[in-house]
Chains A and B, each alone.
Chain A
Amino acid sequence: DVKVTQSSRYLVKRTGEKVFLECVQDMDHENMFWYRQDPGLGLRLIYFSYDVKMKEKGDIPEGYSVSREKKERFSLILESASTNQTSMYLCASSEGGQSYGYTFGSGTRLTVV
């Protein structure tokens, strides 16, 4: 069964900490995405990557960075966590081109205190 795996289901971090959220897919997909999901706002794209070492800003990249050193792994980094980054974070992957579906991870619920 194909999978997108997010390393943590729940995470609690302190303000100012550097936070790493990891996402791994086993489908050899070219595209990988990081979203955050907030009540009333739906899912919003933070960053995406269409190849190793390639990254593009999404709609809300401020306060985040990403890393894609290997095709299967896409990391989201919060350089200095703040309370307004408390959210559900979802990773997804898809093949290249417009005719393919997405596979989502189970999400990481991050609380910054």
Chain B
Amino acid sequence: KNEVEQSPQNLTAQEGEFITINCSYSVGISALHWLQQHPGGGIVSLFMLSSGKKKHGRLIATINIQEKHSSLHITASHPRDSAVYICAVRFMNYGGSQGNLIFGKGTKLSVKP
């Protein structure tokens, strides 16, 4: 069964802390996405990964294909990082060439000043 699990569900941090959000999936994938959604807002794509590691500013995303696990890290967190972070996976056995995504339920991050 194609499943995506995220942890934690909710996360509260103090400004400046290092944050890690985790995503695990059940079977082989062709790509994994990390998405960000601010309250009341649309969704912004942060990263798309199929292997290794990507970095953009204070955000780092890693993926371990063998362990079927990805992490999103935020260094020196700031209140403006407060949002819901969503992991979405394109499974190899689902969606054919259209590559439909299966989404995790999201991690709600709140960074306090």
Contact = CB atoms under 8 A, between A and B. Distances in A.
Interface string A8-44: 0000000000000000000000010100000011111
A101 B33 contact: yes
B113 interface: no
A64 interface: no
B106 A42 contact: yes
Interface in B24-70: 30-31, 33, 35, 40-45, 48, 50
A42 B33 CA distance: 15
* A interface residue count range (under 10 / 10 to 19 / 20 to 34 / 35 or more): 20 to 34
A50 B104 contact: no
Interface residues of B, number: 24
Contacts of B88: 43, 102
B35 A96 contact: no
* Main DSSP-derived SS at the A contact region: strand
Given A40-B105, A42-B105, A94 B43 contact: no
B86 A43 contact: yes
Contact of A104 (B42, B97, B100): B42
B16 interface: no
B99 A97 contact: yes
B98 A106 contact: no
Given A97-B97, A104-B43, 16 more contacts: A33-B100, A42-B104, A43-B103, A44-B103, A45-B100, A50-B98, A96-B98, A97-B99, A98-B97, A99-B31, A102-B33, A102-B45, A105-B42, A106-B41, A106-B42, A109-B40
B101 interface: yes
A58 B45 contact: no
B7 to A, nearest CB: 14
B34 to A, nearest CB: 11
22 contacts: A31-B98, A31-B99, A42-B86, A42-B103, A42-B104, A43-B88, A45-B101, A48-B98, A90-B42, A97-B97, A98-B30, A98-B97, A98-B99, A99-B31, A99-B50, A102-B45, A103-B45, A104-B42, A104-B43, A104-B45, A106-B41, A107-B42
